[in-house]
Amino acid sequence: MSNANARKILEAHLVEGSLDKGKDISIKIDHTLTQDATGTLAYLQFETLGIPRVKTEKSVSFVDHNTLQTDFKNADDHRFLQSVAAKYGIYFSRAGNGICHQVFLERFSVPGKTLLGSDSHTPTAGGAAMLAIGAGGLDVAVAMGGEPFQLKMPEIVGIKLKGKLQPFVSGKDIILELLRKVSVKGGVGKIFEYFGDGIATLSVPERATITNMGAETGATTSIFPSDEKTKAYFGMQKRDKEWVSMPAAKNDKDFDSVIEIDLSTLVPLIAKPHSPDNVVPVTELEGTAIDQVAIGSCTNSSLRDLMMVAAIMKGKTVAPTVSLGISPGSRQVMQQLAKNGTLGILIQSGARILESACGPCLGMGFAPPSRGKSLRTFNRNFQGRSGTEDAEVYLASPEIAAASALAGKIVDPRKLTSVSFPEIPASLHIDDGMIIPPADGSNVSVIYGPNIKPVPVAPPMPDILKIKVIIKVGDNITTDHIMPAGAEILPLRSNIPEIAKHVFERIDKTFAERAKKEQAGTVIVGGSNYGQGSSREHAAIAPMHLGVKVVLVKSFARIHEANLINFGIIPLEFADPKQADAIDVNDIIEFPSLRKYLEGGAKTQYVARDVTKKMDIPVNHHLSSRAMQLLLAGGLLNFIRNKLSK
């Protein structure tokens, strides 16, 4: 019997199905997490379920993404979220308290529990041995209503860490190495579980950097065991009582397959523009001049990371050609830096201290200059995400970032022989004053603002689908392409008709206008790993609002495919991927009796037809029987409402 921790947690939470690779399973969700940019829709949808109080053990709502507040919209969202939390029994982490994943790890994580979060980096909590999965907001809303979460049983891949990292090589380099090995789609349908003698050398924040950025491989989640290092972390957080031991599996045989990484031979790595798997050794880029350095994000903003940065910056000033921004991951980190003098060192170095929030990571301020090179400790460097379309973003460790900020060019941090490593405190001052715990909400009224609009629901699936190809895109299209974020568009997250005007605008400015004109609906044609990146369900709802009925691609990223189904858009894959090349924009594609096909359980090969090219297109799908029911019902919300009303 396998001793993989991921398997044990799934077993303990299994509601339906058997744990055979690829089979449909449903699991009980203990905790949920939302952030403001996905949370408003999640809670609007939760409200329509008519459930008086969340049914999870613990649900937490964070405000960290949309904190620029250039007008009333985000402030209204925050007020809405606070009132919803008070009404339905949800913990509320106020703006200023920090980035959801960092704060969740510090204050809420519990080894062995399940967590579902409306953010793709929810697996961060896997650093503390939680089985933490990112999902669309509607899936999280339904989990708050007590429904199990559905997924296909992933393959459990053991990542065997051997040996010990060299100085100035850290957690970021481990996950960049994995990305180099497996690529941005190598984790789809997989859980990465870390084991081996090397794990004992890594602290929880370093582990969380790894599980966080595991999302960039497309993995369902990543998880570390709970050991002495985890115990020490819970002690530091004064949460000793919540610590649970979950020793690592010992044998390769506990996993479906194993990837080995020798920590002792690992070198500092960098992901080049514009993909997190475009990884090379730092030595290959040494001397490259940079314009900007940004340190922070849910990947690398822990106390350990920022004390390391300060140790490198101490007594020195950032290069005159570089603008350095630092966003500590949480108020706890910020307070600790202030208390032990580290903040003073960072300020003295010329760093611009930014809010404890996502900020530059998703283009909320601190955009690089035109054609600027920006070196960031973040997890995504998709083109344009920084807010500057022609900027070049590099991803690296805090060690590389700090050393390079001083030099004005990329440097190998292993040359910093005179830097002494900081002593991370064993105990912290704990202050949860910015977390509002649940109380009796029976008299609370939810406060809406004028930009908060009802979430549209898909119409029932039509019998006949003869629809136009409205756009054709290539491989690895991200949700940042489909539904961009950034300072101008993010404030529209609670208003689908408005945000829908921006769908695909970075690829084709006419998309929304053209799509809306097609009364019969439209189909998107794409390449492999379509919809990688974020969990934002806006990348499904907004196209649905514009009349997209089918997305026909070579392959999907997990969360986006689930979001399409949740909002009644049919995800189909080419049986022969080469056929994608033969299809053109404006071709008419017919999907004969698709409704009947799904009603009959979709058991045989389905064949669509490009009427324009007179070409049959055999297609595959991985729709579970539940997914087919959702599509027939016009999406998950309709489906659950029907179920609850029975």
Give the footprint of ligand SF4 on this chain (CB under 6 A): 65, 99, 119, 121, 297-298, 358, 361-362, 379
- Strand 14-16: give its sheet, edge to edge: 14-16, 24-27, 149-152
Q: CB of residue 435 vs ligand SF4: minimum separation in angstroms? A: 18
Characterize 32-51 residue by residue with b for buried, 16 or more Cβ atoms within 10 angstroms of its Cβ, and e for exposed.
Answer: bbbbbbbbbbbbbbbbebeb
Options 4-12, 47-55, 529-537, 542-550: segment touching ligand MIC (CB under 6 A) = 529-537
Nearest CB to ligand SF4, comparing residues 362 and 553: 362
Q: Does 120 bind ligand MIC (CB under 6 A)?
A: yes
> Which residue's CB is nearer to ligand SF4, number 297 or number 397?
297
Interface with ligand MIC in residues 472-491 (CB under 6 A): 485
Shortest distance (Å) from residue 119 CB to ligand SF4: 5
Fill in the amino acid letter for 150.
Q
Burial of residue 353, with CB atoms counted within 10 A of its CB: 0-12 exposed, 13-18 middle, 19 or more buried: middle
- Interface residue with ligand MIC among 56, 220, 327, 534 (CB under 6 A) is 534
Closest among 92, 87, 90, 146 to 440, alpha carbons compared: 87
Judged by beta carbon distances under 5 to 8 A according to partner kind, the member of ligand SF4, ligand MIC, none in contact with residue 297 is: ligand SF4
The span from the CA of 276 to the CA of 278, in Å, is 6
Q: Specify the 3-state DSSP secondary structure of 52.
A: coil
From the list ligand SF4, ligand MIC, none, pick the one residue 99 interacts with, judged by a Cβ distance below 5 to 8 Å according to partner type.
ligand SF4
| Residue 536 in the binding site for ligand MIC (CB under 6 A) | yes
Which window, 530-538, 541-549, 597-605, 621-629, contacts ligand MIC (CB under 6 A)? 530-538
Site for ligand MIC in 63-82 (CB under 6 A): 65
Contact 153, 68 (CB under 8 A): no
Rounded Cα gap, residues 74 and 391, in angstroms: 27
Assess 37 for contact with ligand MIC (CB under 6 A): yes
For CA atoms 491, 493, 497, 503, the dihedral sign is: positive
What is the 3-state composition of the chain as percent helix, strand, coil, each rounded to the nearest 5?
35, 20, 45
Separation of alpha carbons 9 and 7, rounded Å: 5
For ligand MIC, the binding residue among 5, 381, 494, 535 (CB under 6 A) is 535
Q: Which does 38 bind (CB under 5 to 8 A by kind): ligand SF4, ligand MIC, none?
A: ligand MIC
Picked from ligand MIC, ligand SF4, none, the partner binding residue 522 (CB below 5 to 8 A depending on kind) is none
Distance CA 253, CA 273 (A): 37
Binds 536: which of ligand SF4, ligand MIC, none (CB < 5-8 Å by kind): ligand MIC
Residue among 266, 335, 337 at smallest CA distance from 308? 337
Q: State the nearest-atom distance from the C-beta of 360 to ligand SF4, in Å.
A: 9
Spatial separation of the C-alpha atoms in residues 6 and 211, rounded to whole Å: 13
Work out what residue 551 binds among ligand SF4, ligand MIC, none; the CB cut-off runs from 5 to 8 Å by kind: none
CA count, 13 A, side-chain hemisphere, 29: 29
Residue 222 interacting with ligand MIC (CB under 6 A)? no
CB of 99 to ligand SF4, least distance (A): 5
Least distance to ligand MIC, CB of residue 447, Å: 21
**Under rule CB under 6 A, residue 299 binds ligand MIC:** no
HSE-CB for 499 with a 13 A CA cutoff: 32
Q: Please state the closest distance from residue 210 (CB atom) to ligand SF4, in A.
A: 14
Q: Is 40 in the site for ligand MIC (CB under 6 A)?
A: no
Complete DSSP assignment for 272-341: PTT-TT-EEEGGGTTT-B-SEEEE-TTTS-SHHHHHHHHHHHTT----TT-EEEE--SBHHHHHHHHHTT
By C-alpha distance, which of 99, 108, 435, 337 is closest to 239? 108
Measured CA angle at 180 (ends 34, 272), to 5 deg: 80
Measured distance CA(297)–CA(329) in Å, rounded: 6
Compute the distance between CA of residue 64 and CA of residue 468 in angstroms, rounded to an integer. 39
* Residue 65: CB minimum distance to ligand MIC, A: 6
Q: Select from 118-126, 157-165, 365-373, 601-609 the region that touches ligand MIC (CB under 6 A).
A: 118-126
- Lookup result for tokens 């481990």: 174
- Binding track over 332-371 against ligand MIC, x by CB under 6 A: ------------------------------x---------
Q: Please, which residue, 537 or 573, has the CB nearer to ligand MIC? A: 537
What's the closest the beta carbon of residue 364 comes to ligand SF4, in angstroms?
Answer: 8
Among ligand MIC, ligand SF4, none, what does residue 535 contact (CB within 5–8 Å per kind)? ligand MIC
Cis upstream peptide for 274 (omega within 30°): yes
- Of 5, 32, 34, 38, which one interacts with ligand MIC (CB under 6 A)? 38
Helix or strand or coil: residue 393? strand
Q: Which C-beta is closer to ligand MIC: that of 119 or that of 277?
A: 119
Q: For the window 585-624, what string marks contact with ligand MIC as x by the rule CB under 6 A?
A: ----------------------------------------
The yes or no reply on residue 558 touching ligand MIC (CB under 6 A) is: no
Which residue, 5 or 478, is less far from ligand SF4 as judged by CB?
Answer: 478
Closest separation in Å from C-beta 341 to ligand SF4: 26
Lookup result for tokens 């539940």: 626
Distance between CA atoms of residues 309 and 241, nearest Å: 32
CB of 380 to ligand SF4, least distance (A): 6
Contacted entry of ligand SF4, ligand MIC, none for residue 261, CB cut-off 5 to 8 Å set by kind: none
Q: Which residues bind ligand MIC (CB under 6 A)?
A: 37-38, 65, 119-121, 362, 485, 533-536
